Structure 1
Amino acid sequence: MPSDPRPSTVLRPPNETAVNAPYEPLPADHTLVLKVIPMPSDANANGDIFGGWVMAQVDLAGSVLPARYAQGRMATVAVNQFIFKQPVRVGDILSLVAKMERIGRSSMTVSVGVYAERIRNQGHYIKVTEAQLTYVAIDDEGRPRPVPVHDLAP
């Protein structure tokens, strides 16, 4: 029987290779806003999750607190900082936490941390990504509008 001429892609088994990163607790001053598990369709040929997929999850997570605070439409206007600290792998349980850092007249700046629980080390968190994003409250025509003034509640 002839061999298959197509190139084969061999994915690394999820979470098999150790990552030398310290475990750390989820920060107490942040709010857990999203938990998600990346799937094989989110990975590259090496079994690592695409950075763009992680960025999309961070944007979703980062928008939760501003959406609550703005009490209406808002949009992402800037990714001020984005640091990939460790690889994310298929099957990791990701916890995305957020904290409002600054509230302006119409804008809100949020820090987001992404922590991974590896399959074989659940309950132990590794910080894999950190980011800071700015959102602006907008009206029905898409123009900036003032955010309401009230207490920050998670």
Structure 2
Amino acid sequence: MTDTAMTDPTAAHARPIADTAPLGELCIRTLAMPADTNQNGDIFGGWLLSQMDIGGGVFASKLAKSRTVTVAIEAMNFRKPVYVGDLVSVHATLIRVGRTSIAVHLEAWVMRRKEKQFILVTDGKFTYVAIDDNGRPREIHQTGLPNPA
């Protein structure tokens, strides 16, 4: 990780590993199960990415007050493995709201069975677009939305 990524506030996808507490709003919490493992017995990265996308979608839909769809996933950082039995929590922080889109910084943290602190395992930037009932992009009314990080 570069020094710029650690100090540049616009590089929200590249937080230092030394963080000890989740940042943002809790969106989803789930338990990593044996059916979610890869050939090495660790939790499959695709499963973790899907949990992050679900949490980000919940967050974006709440802000947009409509359905949202994922249009981009950028700068995923898989920092540490996730193991069977880990409690996985996904936290979201608003980065930016556009006319129809919402950019969100997502973090996945785990609480391991024998640990007493959360561990940052993955983070990244996800972008969602608000859609209407016909699946077309719709404008996001920005009154009352939180200020981006």
Whether TM-score is above 0.5 comes out as yes
Query: 1:4-153, aligned counterparts within 5 Å?
Result: 24-27=20-23, 30-121=24-115, 123-152=116-145
Q: Contact 1:36–1:94 at 8 Å: present in 2 too?
A: yes
Question: In structure 2, what is the Cα distance between the partners aligned to 1:84 and 1:99?
Answer: 18
User: Which amino acid in structure 1 is aligned with residue 123 of structure 2?
Assistant: E
| Structure 1 gap ranges (5+) | 1-20
The structure with the largest alpha-carbon Rg is 1
Measure how far apart 1:45 and its partner are. Answer: 3.2
Question: How far is the alpha carbon of 1:152 from its aligned partner?
Answer: 2.6
Amino acid at match of 2:42: D
Unmatched tracts of structure 2, length 5 or more: 1-16
Cα 1:137/1:23, change in 2 over 3 Å = closer
Q: Post-superposition, which runs of at least 4 consecutive aligned residues in structure 1 deviate over 3 A?
A: none
Alpha-carbon displacement from aligned partner over 1:38-97 (angstroms, at most 9, x marks no partner) = 100101232200011001001001112210111112111111221100000000011110
Asked if structure 2 preserves the Cα contact closer than 8 Å seen for 1:23 and 1:125, the reply is no
What is the match of residue 7 of structure 2?
none
Q: Percent identity?
A: 39
Q: TM-score normalized by structure 1?
A: 0.79
Aligned length: 130
User: What CA RMSD, in Å, does the superposition of the two structures yield over aligned residues?
Assistant: 1.5
Are the counterparts in 2 of residues 78 and 133 from structure 1 also a CA contact under 8 Å? yes
